Amino acid sequence: MSPARKYLSRDVCKNAIANTNSAKAAARYLGVDYYTFRSYSKLYKSDDGTQTLFESCKNPAAKGIPKFKKDGKKIPLLLDIIEGRVGVESYDPNKIKYRLIAEGWIKEECALCGFHERRVIDYRMPLLLHHKDNNKKNFKLDNIELLCYNCFYLFQGNLFNNKDIEHIETNLQVFGTTEAINWELDDYHLQRLKELGLDNEIEDDPNEFVSRK
């Protein structure tokens, strides 16, 4: 006897769509197979009534999902990285992180405390990708988790060195960790700003909201 199929309400389907960028990602976000999600999301209409929820989340062009490279080389399937079939040395770990989120492989919240608040000015969320075995090349799903800054500090260690803390508290010169911060907005966060209706403000200068001055 086959197990009963998980029931998905309209609100559950809407929430999954709002937090992902494709139907397959929404299914993974909910922990159900794609066909179950498709069946239920086809039952419900979008808020404006013009299409089904399933139609509203189709994303054949992968819009809003960051790519790994811009040099024209073939982009590997994320599953190949997760299962260790391709090396990650040539790829930006931040883009792997955001693609894991965007495609629904990991939930965008702290794995320990559930924190998921966003900063209004640039829609960023203070979450760090933590490799449980400390091997930065191991992206197996049972080895990676997102941690908020607070939980990372409590359970893993310091985020900043003494010079960084001194800078934060006294406005002295930046040293060490914070020198490596990339202040440019990537495609993932630009898309989120557009969803907030801030695309007009960032059109001329996409880094206006994260100026270091």
pLDDT tens digits, one per residue of 45-101: 988 888 999 988 876 555 555 555 544 455 677 888 888 888 888 788 888 888 888
Helix, strand, coil abundance in the chain, percent, nearest 5: 40, 5, 55
Q: Is there a contact between 148 and 163 (Cβ–Cβ < 8 Å)?
A: no
**pLDDT tens figures, 132-160:** 999 998 999 999 999 999 999 999 888 88
Closest CA to 166 of 158, 174, 156: 174
What single-letter DSSP state applies at residue 132?
T
Q: Do both 165 and 195 map to the same domain?
A: yes
Domain extent at residue 187: 160-213
Give yes or no: residues 123 and 107 share one domain.
yes
DSSP 75: P
Looking at the structure, do residues 33 and 84 belong to the same domain, yes or no?
no
Could you tell me if residue 62 is inside a domain? no
Provide the domain count of the chain: 3
Same domain assignment for residues 113 and 87: yes
**Is residue 150 located within the same domain as residue 175?**
no
From the centroid of its chain, how far is CA 22?
13
> Quick one: pLDDT at residue 158?
85
Residue 164 and residue 195 in one domain: yes
Structure confidence at residue 207 (pLDDT): 46
Q: What tokens appear for 47 in the block?
A: 């808020």
- Do 84 and 137 fall into the same domain? yes
Does 188 reside within a domain?
yes
Contact 144, 135 (CB under 8 A): no
